[in-house]
Amino acid sequence: MTAAILDRPPVASFGLRLDTKENIQRTAIAAASVSHLDAGEGLFFARQLEYIVPQLYQVKYAEQRARVHFPVSFEGGNGIKTITYRAIDRRGKAKIVTNWSTDFPRVNVLAREVSNKVVSLGDSYGYDFQEIRSAAQANTPLEQLEANAAQMAITELENSLAYFGDANANVYGAFNNPSVPITYAAYPLALGGTLAVTVDQVVSVFNTAINGVLVTSRGVERVNMILVPLKVWTFLSVTRLGSYNDRTLMEYLEKVFPGVVFDWCNECSGAGPNGQDIMFSYVRDDMHCNLLVPSDFEQLPVFSDGATFSVKCHERFAGVRLPYPASCLLTILQ
């Protein structure tokens, strides 16, 4: 019995003899066929079990807040190259005179012109006819998505120029205006998420940033808005005055400086020398500051060569106008 079993030729699991070259080749082909079939079946069932969510989720980006922080002026129109305002000043002083005096001092009125250069902001988007067909098949608003992306790119550039300007293009923003005074905070506001100084010292930092404008302008300008880094704003909003006091630092500052709006600004983070944070205090109204947009975002006519389509997007921009620089103060934080 045992000898009979040992004398039997070896048999594969497919029922083929393994002692010939032909059977070995058949075995390999059969195994490969089974493996290929398994992979195909797996792919088929994987696609059948996949659910495509109809909602499109777009990547979120930081809010562009320049148009919130600075009143927008659309004056001028789309054909202008500069926006100029005239500033009137006077020179001379009066003095005590007698009835027979002839040397009455003369007082003169002086005028100067200040211009903001208008530049073009632009980008484009495009697609071909097959992309339109595919988008229609997938029920995806391709053209609208492309247009929104192009508009957002121009908005981001406008936002950056509103704060930092571009010296090479002679465009000035709020933070790089050479006429805006600069000061340094005497104390740090926060360190490692905890209060690094006393409440009185925190108030002192904001007193310099807010009432410093009032003092240097000799009572003419009164700050009504101050921009701080988001991390400072959140710190002030949640940090209590003390363990047994429910009032936050923000609430206390709003009481000490009535009429002043404390708002956060991402661009204040790392905007100072050596990457230091800054605060920007100013008078926010149409007379003291303007975001100059003589021609708002527009899409030019579609250009097509028959197979592809492209759309150029355009905006005219002239930076931030600060006709009264003494109404502003840029504070560099420790």
Are residues 22 and 75 part of one domain?
Answer: no
Going by pLDDT thresholds of 50, 70 and 90, the confidence category of residue 141 is confident
Q: How do 320-321 and 194-195 pair as beta strands?
A: unpaired
pLDDT 10s digits, 218-275 = 999 999 999 999 999 998 998 888 777 889 999 999 999 999 999 999 999 999 999 9
Q: Count the alpha carbons within 13 Å of 239 in the hemisphere toward its beta carbon.
A: 23
Cβ within 8 Å of residue 227, ≥6 positions away: 69, 263, 264, 265, 268, 279, 280, 281
Q: pTM of the predicted model, to two decimals?
A: 0.81
pLDDT 10s digits, 152-197 = 999 999 999 999 999 999 999 999 999 999 999 988 875 545 556 7
Which residue, 175, 123, 131, 173, is CA-closest to 149?
123
Cα-based distances in Å from 262 to 69, 232, 237, 317 = 11, 10, 10, 27
**CATH label of the domain that carries residue 253:** 3.30.2320.10
Cα four-point dihedral sign 159, 164, 168, 172: positive
- Can you read off the two tokens belonging to residue 184? 């340094």
Are residues 121 and 238 part of one domain?
Answer: yes
Cβ within 8 Å of residue 256, ≥6 positions away: 203, 206
Answer yes or no: are the C-beta atoms of 84 and 115 closer than 8 Å. Answer: yes
What residues form DSSP beta bridges with 228? 264
In a domain, 47, yes or no: no
Are residues 76 and 12 part of one domain?
Answer: no
Q: Calculate ∠ Cα 137-138-142, nearest 5°.
A: 100
Fill in the amino acid letter for 125.
Answer: Y
Are residues 259 and 159 part of one domain?
Answer: yes
Are residues 74 and 17 part of one domain?
Answer: no
Largest CA distance in the chain: 154
Average pLDDT, whole number, for the chain?
85
Are residues 251 and 140 part of one domain?
Answer: yes
In a domain, 59, yes or no: no
Which residues constitute the domain of residue 188?
Answer: 70-80+116-334
In a domain, 257, yes or no: yes
In a domain, 86, yes or no: no
Place of tokens 């000043």: 89
Answer yes or no: are the C-beta atoms of 176 and 319 closer than 8 Å. Answer: no
Give the span between the Cα atoms of 147 and 123, in whole angstroms. 10
Cβ within 8 Å of residue 100, ≥6 positions away: none
Answer yes or no: are the C-beta atoms of 81 and 274 closer than 8 Å. Answer: no
